[in-house]
Every structure is written in C-alpha cells, then in structure tokens.
C-alpha cells in the first residue's frame, strides 16, 4: 500500500472512532437517566459542560424568574396532566418520527398554521399574569441586596 492509501484508511479509522465516541457520549445520559447537569461525566469520563439552563441561572434576574415559575409550576394542578400527556405524546410520536419524519414535519406545520389562524394568545386572561406578577415582585425584593443609605450613615 502506498502512503496516500494508509493515510486515507487511518483517517477513516479516526473518523469512525470519533463518531463512535460521540454517539456513546450522546447515548450515555439517556441510558443512565442523567439530565445533563453540570459536572456529569460522559462515557469517556470527561466532564460535560453546564446546560443552557444552568448558564441562564447564573444571571440573577433570570434565576429569580426561573425559580418563581418553577415553584408556580410545581404547585399547578395541570402539572401531572401535562407530564402524562408529554409521555403519551412521546410514546406515540417517536415511532412515527422514525418511520415518517417528513410527514411529522408536515403535520407540525399544519398544527402551527392552525394555532396561528386561531390566535389562542388572544384568549389568555390577565389572571395568569396577575397571579404570577406578585410572586415575581416578591422574589425580586427578597433577592435584592440591602444597601445602607450613605446619607444616614455616621
């Protein structure tokens, strides 16, 4: 074999190994049930970086909103129904997506068009915002650092 053939086969082996390690790293959280939190390790033992939600939580304003909305959703009566519906939709749509991905995309486009045509955001009542806004303001006040007034200091 000549040098060019050896380098091509070596590149192919490196490419296959890289692909194999990438697929194993992507499958590891799904197999282990890990959500991708910061500090988790992939199959090779290398730590993975923080998720986008962890990065967003580093922002103090976003952290307040995320905490309040998370607490509100944890107590919401529809949380369990949404979790069951999400699991059922995943179980029903995953095989369909594997067999007919373009049909699923076309169906999603039709559903999106119907949502835009119906304009459900106009149905929303201000009660949702009225119930969530005081919680957001209270959390912001609690999180604000207290600074002494320079005029009243001796």
pLDDT digits (tens, 9 = 90+) for 47-96: 456 688 778 888 878 888 888 888 888 888 888 888 888 888 888 889 98
- C-alpha distance from residue 124 to each of 66, 73, 116, 120 (Å): 21, 17, 14, 7
Q: No. of H helices and E strands in the chain? A: 6, 0
pTM as predicted: 0.38
Structure tokens at 123: 């149905």
100, 105, 110, 115 alpha-carbon torsion, rounded to 10°: 130
Question: For 16-59, how does the pLDDT look when each residue is reduced to its tens digit (9 = 90+)?
Answer: 888 888 777 765 554 444 444 444 444 444 445 668 877 888 88
Structure tokens at 77: 């009566």
């Amino acid at each position: 074999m000549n040098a060019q053939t050896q380098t091509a086969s070596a590149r192919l082996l490196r490419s296959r190994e890289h692909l194999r390690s990438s697929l194993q790293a992507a499958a590891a959280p799904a197999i282990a049930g890990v959500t991708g939190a910061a500090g988790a390790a992939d199959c090779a033992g290398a730590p993975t970086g923080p998720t986008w939600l962890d990065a967003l939580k580093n922002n103090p304003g976003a952290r307040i909103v995320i905490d309040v909305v998370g607490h509100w959703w944890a107590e919401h009566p529809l949380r369990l129904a949404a979790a069951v519906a999400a699991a059922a939709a995943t179980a029903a749509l995953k095989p369909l997506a594997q067999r007919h991905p373009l049909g699923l995309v076309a169906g999603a486009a039709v559903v999106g068009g119907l949502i835009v045509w119906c304009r459900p955001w106009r149905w929303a009542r201000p009660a949702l915002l009225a119930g969530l806004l005081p919680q957001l303001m209270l959390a912001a006040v609690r999180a604000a650092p207290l600074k002494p007034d320079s005029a009243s200091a001796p």
